[in-house]
Amino acid sequence: MSDAEERAQSPEVAPVPFELLDETDVADLGSLSYRQLVWRRFRKSKLALAGAGVLIALYFITLFADFFAPYNYQTDNMLMRYVPPTHIHMMDSGRLRWPFVYALRSIRDPETMELSFVDDTAHAYPITLFHHGDGYRIFGLVGSNLHLIGSDGPFYLAGTDRMGRDLFSRILFGGRVSLTVGLVGVFLSIILGSLLGIVSGYRGGWMDVVIQRIIELLSAFPTIPLWMALAAALPAGWSGLQVYFGITVILSLLGWGGLARQIRGKVLSTRDADYILAARAAGAGQWYVITRHLAPMAYSHIIIIATLSIPGMILGETALSFLGLGIRPPMTSWGVLLEEAQRVTVVLHYPWLLISALPVVVVVIAYNFVGDALRDAADPYSA
Amino acid sequence: MRNYIIRRILLAIPTLIAISIIAFVIIQLPKGDFLDQKVAQLEQQYGDSSSIAQADALRHRYGLDKPMPERYIHWVSGFVRGDFGESFRYEREVKDLIWERLGFTVLLSIGSLIFTYLMAIPLGIYSATHKYQWGDNALTFLAFLGMSLPGFLIALCIIVLVYKVFGVPLFGLFSPYYQAQVGWSWAKVGDLVNHLWVPIIVISLNGVAGLMRVMRGNLLDVLGEPFVRTARAKGLKESVVVVKHAARIAINPLISMMGMSLPDILSGTTILSIVANLPTVGPLLLQSLQDEDMYLAGTILLFMSLLLIIGNLLADIALAWADPRIRYE
């Protein structure tokens, strides 16, 4: 694959300005390993560091969503349907107070019959740290009912949905699915892509031809429609977990082609390099050459492509779930949450439902920043 | 060149056959078929099982009781006559259902493709020639945002915004008056053009963001080359150097990318059409997949792939035309 094409597949993004290493650095450059050099470059991009920080924080929070979310994602309250985001008050009759919320009173508009909520200032509830709320078990082991933050009153940071479930909590729990779908999907496509790419490049011959034709064929389908068709084929009786893995397999099924092609190109260009020939002359077997010499060379490449293709998979899951073909309730993901915001009339009346879009955008941007800086850092020897 | 085109067209035939097989297998994957749903529906209506006999008769009529390869041959052999099977749900010929919608799909996709390139190339040039300046940084930020925002979300936000500001749903390809009008008139075409730009902008956004960055990178590479220095040394105006010398070369990879950006655009068109209920094949595909209306779904998949193959071919021809260094034997 030519240079231009390679660039074309993964658009060059952030203009991460790399000043040449300053003089003190140059002195000990030679003694640094490849990994250290890459890290040196990577950390120069503030955007990428910020992105990485955001991602780590988000993965951590969603992993312990039970604790960080004020409610369980399935806790519903039919009296609190479509409640707008809660006002958090700090002033009480002119005096500063520990943050608190008021109880809500629902009022029905006599003309439109629409329900709306107003603060009931007679009842105030403080917001408490380490609040005792819905019970849960961490990893099914340790039981607890502690939540980082919560209140005995209505405490809906992002409002509630049509079943009176707290949207903020649902976003945190939904992140478990949305954030990991990309990881698992990319993992699968890396295995498929690097294996087939290396085989295709190293063995050549009819295997190469067959693999390349398959890749061409897969790329002849428009992504989303093919994903839709495959997702629609998932049996209706499947459990949440089965559907989850089904979706990741579908997402990775189309993702490996590009990776395989690039790795094949890399392998082709080094297959006859001196050190490979030397290894072979010394009696190294095919498997040894592939795992010890060819695969490590492609590692950096694989990691970059993986990072850059995760956002696509996250968006893919979101889009599929949004269309009602992906993750199925009661399991929740950001796409599932957005599905409820699909109809314009709903969004007009309950605009806070769109808040679920925010984490999607943040995560995708963060991944793009990180992937982009990684791509620049992967070649630390160039200026 | 002509030989090359002919060879490419001939090569596309086995690809199409393979695609039709894959499409057919995929749409057969779900357990059961459309008639199972129909039977359940009829049973509820009449409360007895006489509908099963009726369903069996239908199944026989549609050839659903035959093994898969036989059904495939049956389906494919109709193509030559322009027969793509019958939609179970609409009980109409598939080709009648998708013909007009396919036209709108092509219209939207091509419109978006053109718009994408018209926007991306000048923006990329501007970004590259103002590297790290205020405008470049702003464009970079917007590009990241544009690449990260899923199309359906942008669409949703725009629909809501327009509805809030103007109180009318802006989406759709026609105003209600022309929607009802059967046949075509110049006024209707004008109305269509008026409605086309919103979806086109929404579909193009991701592509513009990505391509702009590619154009910027390419141009920056080219601007560092010796022939650019030569051009400057000759005393040419900077605008001439950039546009006539550098950009001319930097555009080539973008042309070869045209084939690659088509799938994205088609995907974008599909999703947007579903969200905004545009009369393209997108909403029809979603519905047919949910209904297991397999001939309809399969034919739509097939035609979408056909569009991509044609698009790829055109992109290659355009590249050969734009870059005389490329030779096809």
Tens digits of per-residue pLDDT, B276-291? 888 888 888 888 888 8
Nearest-Å Rg of the Cα atoms of chain A is: 26
Is B270 close to A222, i.e. CB distance below 8 A? yes
B138 vs A: CB within 8 A:
no
B154 vs A: CB within 8 A:
no
| Per-residue three-class SS string for chain A | CCHHHHHHHCCCCCCCCCCCCCHHHHHHHHHCCHHHHHHHHHCCCHHHHHHHHHHHHHHHHHHCHHHHCCCCCCCCCHHHCCCCCCCCEEEECCEEEEEEEEEEEEEECCCCCCEEEEEEEEEEEEEEEEEEEEEEEECCCEEEEEEEEEECCCCCCCCECCCCCEHHHHHHHHHHHHHHHHHHHHHHHHHHHHHHHHHHHHHCHHHHHHHHHHHHHHHCCCHHHHHHHHHHCCCCCCCHHHHHHHHHHHHHHHHHHHHHHHHHHHHHHHCCCHHHHHHHHCCCCHHHHHHHHHHHHHHHHHHHHHHHHHHHHHHHHHHHHHCCCCCCCCCCCHHHHHHCCCCHHHHHHCHHHHHHHHHHHHHHHHHHHHHHHHHHHCCCCCC
Instruction: Respond yes or no on whether ipTM tops 0.90.
Output: no
A334 vs B: CB within 8 A:
no
Average pLDDT of span A179-191: 88
B236 vs A: CB within 8 A:
no
pLDDT at A262: 82
B297 vs A: CB within 8 A:
yes
Average pLDDT of span B198-204: 86
Is B301 close to A14, i.e. CB distance below 8 A? no
> Using CB atoms and an 8 Å cut-off, which of residues 132-191 of chain A contact chain B?
none
Q: What's B91's DSSP letter?
A: T
Q: Would the pLDDT of A21 be above 60?
A: no
B182 confidence band (pLDDT: 50, 70, 90):
low
- Amino acid of residue A41: R
Is A12 close to B214, i.e. CB distance below 8 A? yes
Higher pLDDT, A158 or B54: A158
- Amino acid of residue A70: P
Q: Would the pLDDT of A141 be above 90?
A: no
Average pLDDT of span B182-204: 79
Is A222 close to B304, i.e. CB distance below 8 A? yes
Would you say A175 and A332 are in contact if contact means Cβ atoms under 8 Å apart? no
Residue A381 C-beta-side C-alpha neighbours within 13 Å: 3
Is A13 close to B274, i.e. CB distance below 8 A? no
Would you say A336 and A344 are in contact if contact means Cβ atoms under 8 Å apart? no
pLDDT at A20: 46
Instruction: Give the three-class secondary structure for B309.
Output: helix
Q: Would the pLDDT of B229 be above 80?
A: yes
Is B301 close to A357, i.e. CB distance below 8 A? no
Q: Would the pLDDT of A87 be above 50?
A: yes
pLDDT at A320: 87
Distance CA A362, CA A53 (A): 12
Distance CA A235, CA B69 (A): 22
Q: Among A165, A185, A187, which Cα is nearest to A174's?
A: A165
Q: CB-based burial of residue B189 (10 Å sphere; 0-12 exposed, 13-18 middle, 19+ buried)?
A: exposed
Higher pLDDT, B232 or B86: B232
> Using CB atoms and an 8 Å cut-off, which of residues 170-209 of chain B contact chain A?
none
| Omega cis (within 30) before B263 | no
CB contact set of B69 (below 8 Å; sequence gap of 6+): none
Would you say B166 and B81 are in contact if contact means Cβ atoms under 8 Å apart? no
Mutate to test the interface with A, among B22, B102, B153 (most CBs of A within 10 A): B153
Distance CA B236, CA B81 (A): 60
Distance CA B2, CA B157 (A): 47
Span B5-21, pLDDT tens digits: 888 888 888 888 888 88
Span B302-317, pLDDT tens digits: 888 888 888 888 888 8
For residue B282, which residues of chain A lie inside 8 Å, CB to CB? 225
Q: Among A108, A126, A125, which Cα is nearest to A117's?
A: A108
Average pLDDT of span B189-198: 78
Instruction: Give the three-class secondary structure for B86.
Output: strand
Which of B31, B136, B144 has the CB atom closest to A365's CB atom?
B144
The most distant pair of C-alpha atoms in chain B lies apart, rounded to whole Å, by 90
Sort strands A142-151 and B86-87 into parallel, antiparallel or unpaired. Answer: unpaired
Q: Would the pLDDT of A229 be above 80?
A: yes
For residue B150, which residues of chain A lie inside 8 Å, CB to CB? 315, 318-319, 360, 364
pLDDT at B93: 79
For residue A365, which residues of chain B lie inside 8 Å, CB to CB? 144-145, 148
Mutate to test the interface with A, among B17, B136, B144 (most CBs of A within 10 A): B144
A351 vs B: CB within 8 A:
yes
Averaged pLDDT of chain A: 80
Is A348 close to B132, i.e. CB distance below 8 A? no
The number of beta carbons lying within 10 Å of the beta carbon of residue A36 is 13
Q: Among B3, B26, B11, which Cα is nearest to B285's?
A: B26
For residue B149, which residues of chain A lie inside 8 Å, CB to CB? 361, 364
Is B217 close to A342, i.e. CB distance below 8 A? no
Per-residue b or e along B231-260, where b marks 16 or more CB atoms closer than 10 Å to that residue's CB: beeeeeeeeebbeebbbebbbbbbbbbbbb
The number of beta carbons lying within 10 Å of the beta carbon of residue A89 is 15
pLDDT at A164: 79
Distance CA A320, CA A313 (A): 10
For A310, the closest chain B residue by CA position comes to B148
> Using CB atoms and an 8 Å cut-off, which of residues 17-76 of chain B contact chain A?
18-19, 22-23, 26-27, 29-31
Report the gap between the CA of B266 and the closest CA in chain A (Å). 6
Report the gap between the CA of B300 and the closest CA in chain A (Å). 9
Q: Would the pLDDT of A184 be above 80?
A: yes
Average pLDDT of span A3-17: 46
Q: How far is CA B315 from CA A23, A282, B135, in A?
A: 48, 47, 31
Structure tokens given for A23: 């003089």
Span B39-76, pLDDT tens digits: 667 666 666 666 667 667 767 766 677 777 888 887 88
For residue A232, which residues of chain B lie inside 8 Å, CB to CB? 30, 289-290
Is B144 close to A233, i.e. CB distance below 8 A? no
Report the gap between the CA of A217 and the closest CA in chain B (Å). 7
pLDDT over 70, % of chain B? 84
CB contact set of B238 (below 8 Å; sequence gap of 6+): B232
Strand partners, A117: A106
pLDDT at B168: 62
Average pLDDT of span B91-102: 82
Q: Would the pLDDT of B329 be above 60?
A: no
Per-residue b or e along A202-216, where b marks 16 or more CB atoms closer than 10 Å to that residue's CB: beeeeebeebbebbe
pLDDT at B171: 62
Size of interface A-B (CB pairs under 8 A): 154
Which of B145, B214, B297 has the CB atom closest to A229's CB atom?
B297
pLDDT over 90, % of chain B? 7
CB contact set of A348 (below 8 Å; sequence gap of 6+): B160, B163, B164
Q: Is the pTM of this model over 0.90?
A: no
Average pLDDT of span A337-350: 80
pLDDT at A12: 46
Backbone angles phi, psi at B87, to 5 degrees: -80, 130
CB contact set of B309 (below 8 Å; sequence gap of 6+): A220, B12, B15, B16
Which of A63-67, A103-107, B108-112, B143-147 shows the lowest per-residue confidence on average (mean pLDDT)?
A103-107
pLDDT at B170: 59
Would you say A368 and B147 are in contact if contact means Cβ atoms under 8 Å apart? yes
Q: How far is CA A75 from CA A128, A134, A165, A353, B139, in A?
A: 19, 8, 6, 17, 43
Q: Would the pLDDT of B122 be above 90?
A: yes
Distance CA B209, CA B108 (A): 18
Mutate to test the interface with B, among A3, A47, A337, A344 (most CBs of B within 10 A): A344
pLDDT at A7: 45
pLDDT at B13: 85
Higher pLDDT, B175 or B228: B228
For residue B309, which residues of chain A lie inside 8 Å, CB to CB? 220
Instruction: Give the three-class secondary structure for B156.
Output: helix
Span A248-262, pLDDT tens digits: 888 888 778 888 888
Is B301 close to A319, i.e. CB distance below 8 A? no
